[in-house]
Structures are given as structure tokens and as C-alpha cells.
Amino acid sequence: MKTKLTAAVMLLLSGTPAFAHRLDEYLQATLITVEKNRIAAEIRLTPGVLVFPIVFASIDTDANHVISESEQRGYEEKVLRDLSLAVDGNPLRLRLVSAKFPSTEEMKEGLGEIEIEFEADVPFSSHNRRLIFENHHQSRIGAYLVNCLVSRDPDIRLGAQHRNYSQSFYQLDYVETGASSTPFSHAWWSGVSGAAFLLAFARIAWLWRARTRRLRPLV
């Protein structure tokens, strides 16, 4: 269920300029989840077929055309070094949670996604909070998307969101209150949000596959 819900909202910004040149760009879509003491995020990296050699070379550091586990770990660390996350002006230390790499053939076709999950602890400072996320990974060929899930915690209310044109910079204002909620309210919101995300997933997945088929190069 978590994977489906994540995929459902990962590409909600499909009308943005980042989708205009899939073949020669490295699409990097980040989904952020805000919690009281933690920020969780997932980034999905999809190289277009024309930039696959550049991306693959940055992973396959020994140039033997096989990605080893150590090379995967090295690339995961490289991606995290190129990301920055701060709340209320305080830089947060990012921790790798998990990572998944597609097959080389999938990446060559422009369909394989590298999935990296990471998180950071957030110390409390005030009720009115500001999150800033930046992504500078492979900036020469990068095409960035970033969005935030509506929190299931009713004590957290998302506010204004600001992005630069390339979406390498993302700012979110949110409010963290001390109000408590009943178990019923949590269950109700979980069900409503889950249904909405699954409906979005069906449409977004169809658009994504259709766009990919249209943009594949002629042979």
C-alpha cells in the first residue's frame, strides 16, 4: 500500500515544464512527508535514454558495465550529499532508509527508476515552521519535481509552498499545533487520503506510460 500511495502523488506535477524533454533529462521526483519529530522523503530518479550513459557512468565507477552493491551504496551517498534539507533555518542530517535499483536494461529504455528513501530528525523550535529542500544532483541534466503529502496528523497543517522554476528549490510553511485527535479521526483520515491517492495513481500511471511511449526515439 505504501508504494502505491507514494507513486500516486509522486508525479502530481505532470503539467510542469520538467516533462517536456524526458529523453535528454534526468527526472528526479521527490515526495516529502512532514511529521512532528521527523521529515521523511523518497526520491525517484529516472534517466532519459539520451542521458543514460552519463548517469550509468556515475554509478558504474569501475567501468565494468556491472553495478555492484558497493557502487550502489556509493551512488546513494552521492545523491544524499547533493540534497539539503533545513527546518527553521537549521540544516538537518539526512539518513538513508532504503534504496532500490532497477535493471540496467530498464534504465536503458528510460523506464527504470532508482528509488531512495531518506529521513531526518526535526527538533521542536516553534509552532510556525518553514521547511526548505534543495536538490542539486546532476544539475546539468537534472529535471526536478517536488511535492509534499498532506499529513495524516491533524496537528500538522501545511501552508504556502514555493518553488523556483526548475524545482531544485522548494519551500514549505507549515503549522505544528499541540491539539490531539481521537483514534477515529486518524482512521477516517487515513481511509480518505488512501482512497484519493489510489485514484490519483491510476490516472498518473496511465499518463506517465503514455508520455513515455510518445517520447521514445525512433529506431
Maximum pairwise Cα distance, the chain: 60
pLDDT average, residue stretch 170-190: 63
In a domain, 123, yes or no: yes
In whole angstroms, what is the distance from residue 12 CA to residue 203 CA? Answer: 10
> Higher pLDDT residue, 172 or 181?
172
Which pLDDT score, from 0 to 100, does residue 111 have? 86
Amino acid at 104: T
pLDDT average, residue stretch 94-113: 93
In a domain, 63, yes or no: yes
By residue range, what is the domain housing residue 154?
Answer: 16-182
Query: Is the pLDDT confidence value at 153 over 80?
Result: yes
Which pLDDT score, from 0 to 100, does residue 45 have? 97
Which pLDDT score, from 0 to 100, does residue 128 have? 94
In a domain, 3, yes or no: no
Query: Is the pLDDT confidence value at 21 over 70?
Result: no
The grid coordinates of residue 103 equal 535493471
Which pLDDT score, from 0 to 100, does residue 213 have? 47
DSSP character at residue 194: H
- The count of residues in the chain is 219
In a domain, 165, yes or no: yes
The grid coordinates of residue 109 equal 529504455
How sure is the predictor about 142, in pLDDT bands with cuts at 50, 70 and 90? very high
Which pLDDT score, from 0 to 100, does residue 125 have? 81
In a domain, 211, yes or no: no
Give me the number of domains the chain comprises.
1
Cβ atoms of residues 21 and 166 within 8 Å = no
Amino acid at 66: V
In a domain, 196, yes or no: no
In whole angstroms, what is the distance from residue 169 CA to residue 171 CA? Answer: 7
The grid coordinates of residue 106 equal 530498464
In a domain, 200, yes or no: no
pLDDT average, residue stretch 186-215: 45
In a domain, 110, yes or no: yes
SS3 at position 204 = helix
SS3 at position 168 = coil
SS3 at position 60 = coil
